[in-house]
Structure 1
Amino acid sequence: MEKLVTTALPYANGPIHLGHLVEHVQADIWVRFQRLIGRQCLFLCGDDAHGSAIMLAAEKSGIQPEQWIKTIRQEHYRDFQDFLVDYDLYHTTHSDENKQLSCEIYKTLRDSGLIERKRVTQAYDDQANMFLPDRYVKGTCPKCGSEDQYGDSCEQCGAVYTPDQLLNPKSVLTQTTPIYKDSEHYFFALSKCQDLLEDWVGRGALQPEVEKKLSEWFDHGLKNWDISRDAPYFGIEIPDAPGKYFYVWMDAPIGYIAATKHWANSRGLDEKKMWSHDSKTDIVHFIGKDILYFHGLFWPAILHHAGYKTPDHIYAHGFLTINGKKMSKSRGTYVTARAYLDAFDPDYLRYYFAAKLSPTISDIDLNWTEFASRINAELIGKIINIGSRCTCFIHRYFSGVLSDHLSDEALYQQIISNESTLLQLYDSRDYNQCLRLLLQMADQVNQYLDQVKPWAMVKDESVLDQVGPICTLGVSVFYSLMGFLSPVLPGTFERVQSFLRVEHSNWSDFCRPLLSQQIDVFPRLLERVKLSDASFIDE
């Protein structure tokens, strides 16, 4: 396997929302492109299915945690499938493989002197009679002063801290101020890994701004990382510590290896060939910038000391805002994947996200007015319209058969010559520049059609035979554009393939014209966006 690609595991405590989809669509586009140019890619994800939050959510619903996470996983997987995110496996961290691997890795770290124990002071809800998970304490970030932040990290500045460092902390369960109690916890000795991680961070696996961000942690020295939680807790019990469980950020990333093991073993293969320290497989993680610390420091250190390969690339993205505002149920800017799908084609959002995504960690905004404009004016008005206006003449005057030559071979080659640039842009995840170039290519053929005016030529018998090669050029460029867009618009491209009666196997097929070929009548590939179709949009 050339590449093993993962996305961060969605937490199994609620539905998939549009913020999740930025990452999963970004990764899916990249994987589809890699496969299109002939590279082998294994694409994996699954639910992060452990933690107190899940235990409490299940309890509130009156069911066992196992049933809760099973139902949530089915819903998550259905949403990703309906958004055409093509995972080879959508697994779960609540699996035999993950339990086995987490315990094995822990024992290796312990035996290497990298697990330490010490007593810590923890937030405790006296009314709920339980230690509070970090995310069940909210308050003001001690670093940047942002309010309503979780007890383990700040979503605004990325700072990582402990609940007792929060300002004005409150229990999410009872809204009371937590008290603090002592408990013995288990720590991974991250402080012993600083030299290793400083070297790893500088190897080129990270985006420049991510490398700079992670390097800031070295200035103050890395701190040991608490990997344990007290009962009651839904998760994996630590082998030599009854009543203690692995913190979710210990077993969740190990879920990447567990998913690989499940996929490989079910095919009689060995996952170690992809994860061993000397493996030639490229390990690629797509993540949000809010979890850089865990994936960029904690995770590589654990992998290295447990004898596994460290990631070759970690690609981080920014946050999603909607109409310029943070996603929020109370503000009406929280949109689930299912609510979107009830209103619009999934390819619309895939196209919009691609038009916004770059190789950086900049945030992107989903502005619904711009969304409608990009779909109606760009995708349908500029690209889809090429196929519509040309195929109608092919059917009306040439029995649905494309010409055996193009009216302007030089123009076709000039347009298609951009494919080498498209290759580089896709590979570097510079999707917005990729789409910009594709629109420029569409403009070229639209300008040509406007100049030669085939709709006027068909009225003159003396030049009617020239219309076939002209429209064949238009259809050929349309096919190429849609082929180059197929990683972004897989559903629409399947419909294009069907009516053009073509099959593709690789990228190079989109660099050849369609000649002397019978095609079907142009279908309604996409409908124009009407924002009034979506109840969640307040125009």
Structure 2
Amino acid sequence: MAKVLVCVAWPYANSLIHLGHVAGSLLPPDIFSRYHRLKGNEVLMVSGSDQHGTPITVKAEREGVSPLEIAERYHKLNKKAIEDLNIEFSLFTKTHTDNHFQVVHNIFLDLLNKGYLYQKDTLQYFCPHCDKFLPDRYVEGICPSCGNEEVRGDQCELCGKTFEGGELIEARCVHCDTSPEMRETKHYFIKLSAFQEPLIDWVKDKEHWRSSVKLFTQNWLEAGLQDRPITRDMSWGIPVPLAGQEEKVIYVWFEAVIGYLSASMEWAKQHGDADAWKAYWTDPSVRGYYFLGKDNIPFHTIIWPAILMGYGGLNLPYDVPANEFLTFKGDKV
């Protein structure tokens, strides 16, 4: 009897899940897990609602309610929908929990103490009309890579390119349509450049990966990994656990991938053995499978493995079966 870890991408708690979620990242891991359970293997399948980041705050501001209200509303609705679909998670949790905060803070401070995180000045979008910085989905524009005209500030879903401040063409504030200016602010960065060679070595023998996943990852590595900011100028999310950083939170894509680990720990506590998660994360014979959409590939084949390498002692992903988007008449569902 083998143990199998199944990690499922966390849907944002800013809207209802749809057929794209079901086809791309919910039904495939459920089928996979049922197969292994029928074989007699022990499966730990975890996920939850991604309750932080700009998708939630933008929605909340448009409705005139708190981010927590939006996050809890859609967590409950989506959890019920998943249960109605009879998709069998070991645990479907959420990121706005004391447990998740604690695990994220622990990893953040560990990487900081090891020199894998550092603070520096950076230029970011700022809306003079709204008088605030515009992280991620607060700014939209045209992708400088593929020309997609409906791009948010952190990533182009069409070509997969991720952005730092100032890269979008014809950038505009999502609230007032004003062209933002660039202002200096301090942020913490993860030193991805330190993991360039270890990640190249790790990826090169992944012949069992889907060709699209491996090619996407190799293209990132061949371009050379750049250090990335992992904090944001906003109030909703996991606060940076350092004095003087009260107006900054940890970037949602740094903390959300840690959710697989924190969810496993939460599951263990709920089952009366707080150390039970270790059997799935520290035993090198246990394989971890990560099911997600193609837009999430770099966060699971670059960012998360780098975090795990820096933290140490935990298994890296074995496979990352990312799916293409579900489309209808050429448009993403």
Q: How far has the Cα of 1:274 moved from its partner?
A: 2.0
- Alignment match, 2:263: 259
Give the match for residue 281 of structure 1. Answer: 286
1:354 is matched with which residue? Answer: none
The question of whether the paired residues in 1 share the 8 Å contact of 2:67 and 2:236 is answered with: yes
Contact 1:163 1:169 in 2 (8 A): no
Deviation at 1:268, TM superposition (A): 2.0
- CA deviation profile, 1:295-338 (whole Å, cap 9, x unmatched): 110110101111222111111110110133333xxxxxxxxxxx
Question: How far 1:64 moved relative to its partner?
Answer: 2.9
What SS does the aligned partner of 1:165 have?
A: coil
Q: How does 1:446-525 map to 2 (within 5 A)?
A: none
Which of 300, 303, 320 in structure 2 is aligned with 1:314? 320
CA apart distance, 1:218: 2.1
CA distance in 2, matches of 1:37, 1:56: 45
TM-score (norm 1): 0.58
Paired residue for 1:186, among 185, 188, 193? 188
Q: Deviations over 1:475-532 (max 9, x none)?
A: xxxxxxxxxxxxxxxxxxxxxxxxxxxxxxxxxxxxxxxxxxxxxxxxxxxxxxxxxx
User: 1:24-39, aligned counterparts within 5 Å?
Assistant: 24-39=26-41
> Which residue of the partner structure matches residue 303 of structure 2?
298
Match of 1:166 in 2: 168
Distance 1:170 1:128 in 2: 12
Which residues of structure 1 form unaligned runs of 5+?
A: 328-539
The letter of the residue matching 1:300 is P
User: How far apart, CA to CA, are the structure 1 residues paired with 2:124 and 2:187?
Assistant: 10
Q: Secondary structure at the match of 1:169?
A: strand
Residue 43 (structure 2) aligned to one of 26, 41, 44: 41
Corresponding letter in the other structure for 2:189 = F
CA distance in 2, matches of 1:52, 1:292: 20
Aligned-partner SS, 1:108: helix
Quote the residue 1:20 is aligned against: 21
Distance 1:273 1:89 in 2: 16
Residue 281 of structure 1: CA displacement?
2.4
TM-superposed CA distance for 1:163, in Å, is: 4.0
| Structure 2 residue 226 is the aligned partner of structure 1 residue 223 | yes
Q: Which has the higher contact order (CA 8 A, sep 6+)?
A: 2
Which residue identity is paired with 2:68? E
Secondary structure at 2:225's aligned position in 1?
A: coil
Could you give the per-residue CA deviations for residues 64-120 of structure 1, whole angstroms, max 9, x where no partner exists?
A: 322321221110011112222111211001111111111110111111111121111
Shift of 1:279: 4.1
Aligned-residue offset at 1:155? 1.2
1:196-215 alpha-carbon deviations (Å, 9 max, x no partner): 11011123263233112211
Inter-partner Cα distance in structure 1 for 2:159 and 2:57:
29
Q: Deviations over 1:17-67 (max 9, x none)?
A: 111111211111111111122221111110011113323423443433223
Q: Describe the SS at the equivalent of 2:120.
A: strand
Shift of 1:186: 0.4
Kept after mapping to 2: 8 A contact 1:139/1:149:
yes
Identity of aligned residues (%): 36
What stretches of structure 2 of length at least 5 have no aligned partner? none
Q: CA deviation at 1:134?
A: 1.3
- 1:207 maps onto 2:210 in alignment: yes
User: How far 1:221 moved relative to its partner?
Assistant: 1.2
Structure richer in strand, relative to its length: 2
Aligned CA distance change for structure 1 residues 324 and 63 (closer, same or farther; 3 Å): closer
Q: Normalising by structure 2, what TM-score?
A: 0.93
CA offset at residue 259 of structure 1?
0.8
Measure, in 2, the Cα distance between the counterparts of 1:243 and 1:169: 24
The number of residues matched between the two structures is 325
* Amino acid in structure 2 at the alignment position of 1:283: G
1:242 and 1:146 map into 2 onto residues whose CA distance is: 35
Aligned-pair Cα RMSD in Å: 1.6
| Regions of 4+ moved over 4 Å | none
CA distance in 2, matches of 1:80, 1:325: 24
Higher mean displacement: 167-176 or 51-60: 51-60
Q: Which amino acid aligns with 1:219?
A: E
Q: In structure 1, what is the Cα distance between the partners aligned to 2:54 and 2:222?
A: 33
Residue pair 2:58, 2:137 contacting (<8 A) in 1 also: no
